[in-house]
Amino acid sequence: MPKLTQLALAAIAHRVLPADGSAADSPELAYLAQQARDLPTTPAEFTKLVCRSLEKPHADDAPLAQLSAYWRLSLAETLALALCAIIERDTLAGRALAYAQAPIGGSRPTLGLLAETYGHLDGHQRLNPVQLSHGPAFVGGAFTLNNDGAPLPERSVSLNIPVCLALSDEETNWPGGTIGDTENIPLPETVLTLCRQHATALSAPQAPLLILRAAAIEETRATATEICRALKKRPYFAENAALPGLSAWLHLRNLVPVFLLDPGPGEHKPAPQIPLYHGPIIIATGTEGTIDSPHREITHWTLPLPTRTEREHLWRQALPQTPETATELATTHRLSAARIAQLGKLAHHHARLHGKLSPDTQTIRTVSRSG
């Protein structure tokens, strides 16, 4: 079964190769002829082959087939994605495309070329440039239309680079955020249980977005990470992320967006709206302000303080060398999980600084007053 990238290039070849099938002396035409070799040229047979390649995709095409099903892409959009992805990787593919679009085109396809080459694959009525530009791949932001001011058929189309890499199953960060968490803090068992319950609720279609509130952002990040783990996904912590195209990237990398917002007292901040994204959304914020979401329901979870028994367990994790200290601190220091983890690290540093083997209760009191 041919790859979708080969089919995308073969369709270009069918437009530009001489009728006798010769490739003359042009390396660009020879490259396109190689892609089209032994593939059907009649529209009906070619369309059937594209459909079969999507139903049983080559391993390299699995991410593209997955995105095509998720966004319910037309065959035209699917092959357009395959074409735009290959020209970002293969120099000769870009040169061949520039040759095919001469004299006005560059190495990125114009919307007119995409519509003319692939627009007939989705039924009796050929997709024109206007219709193609309003498909999910454009609306969702995977594609970008360049050359503002040019007629629509002459505008070039480029593929979002993180999405391009994700289509090859390669890991990269989306600008304005980070994947995962570099350092997690221990959480009480009651919170872990609730994380699993929230994960079950968030896995339902069109679930409300979840707003996590706590005084320490480290605690909401750790909680969001546990919810994502229960969903068998990873968190993407977004601080200033561009939203167009993000849906495709999140889906391909199996990520949950966790937006880090921090409104002040009395301040309202809107929940980000990701185009064509229907999965779980988490917002990690402090205890002040309001998050508004006109397009999606909201559920709130303010993280509770650990019970005395849970605090003792957390102190034992923070101070494993001195369990008796943990018992005392659980009674005298009614703190959050994040604060316990923070003081434990500061106490270990303070103890080493003063030549002690391990911190004691007095060390905790000292660092608590200073940090």
Q: What is the pLDDT of residues 223-240, one digit of tens each?
A: 999 999 999 999 999 999
- Summarize pLDDT for 195-213 with one digit per residue, the tens: 999 999 999 988 999 999 9
CA distance 93 to 9: 8
pLDDT at res. 119: 93
Positive or negative CA dihedral for 19, 25, 29, 34?
positive
Does residue 19 surpass a pLDDT of 80? no
The answer to whether 243 touches 141, Cβ cutoff 8 Å, is yes
Among 64, 69, 66, 60, CA closest to 81: 64
Q: b/e string for 210-242 if b means 16 or more Cβ within 10 A?
A: bbbbbebbbbbbbbbbbbbbbbebbbbbbeebe
Per residue in 170-188, pLDDT (tens digit) is 999 999 999 986 667 899 9
**Predicted pLDDT of residue 6:** 95
Residue 370 has pLDDT above 60, yes or no: yes
What is the rounded distance in angstroms from the CA atom of residue 204 to the CA atom of residue 229?
16
Give the helix ranges, DSSP H, for 256-336. 308-318, 323-332
What tokens does 135 get? 């498909």
Closest CA to 285 of 241, 250, 237: 237
The most confident of the ranges 87-96, 180-189, 344-353 is 87-96
Alpha-carbon distance of 339 to 361, in angstroms, equals 15
> Could you tell me the two tokens for 83?
């074409």
Res 23: pLDDT: 54
At 52 the pLDDT is 95
Tokens of 76: 């035209």
Is 60 exceeded by the pLDDT of residue 112? yes
The pLDDT assigned to 358 comes to 75
Query: 156 forms bridges with which residues in the sheet?
Result: 110
Parallel/antiparallel/unpaired status of strands 209-213 and 282-285: parallel
Q: Quick one: pLDDT at residue 142?
A: 96
Which string of DSSP letters, residue by residue, matches 202-248?
HTSTTPPEEEEE-SSHHHHHHHHHHHHHHTT-EEEEESS---TTHHH
Residue 349 has a pLDDT of: 83
Q: Over the stretch 274-307, which tens digit does the pLDDT of each residue have?
A: 999 999 999 999 999 999 998 899 999 999 999 9
Measured CA to CA, the distance from residue 183 to residue 7 in angstroms comes to 45
What is the predicted pLDDT for the residue at 341? 87
- For residue 152, the model assigns a pLDDT of 93
For 242-259, the pLDDT digits (tens) are 999 999 999 999 999 999
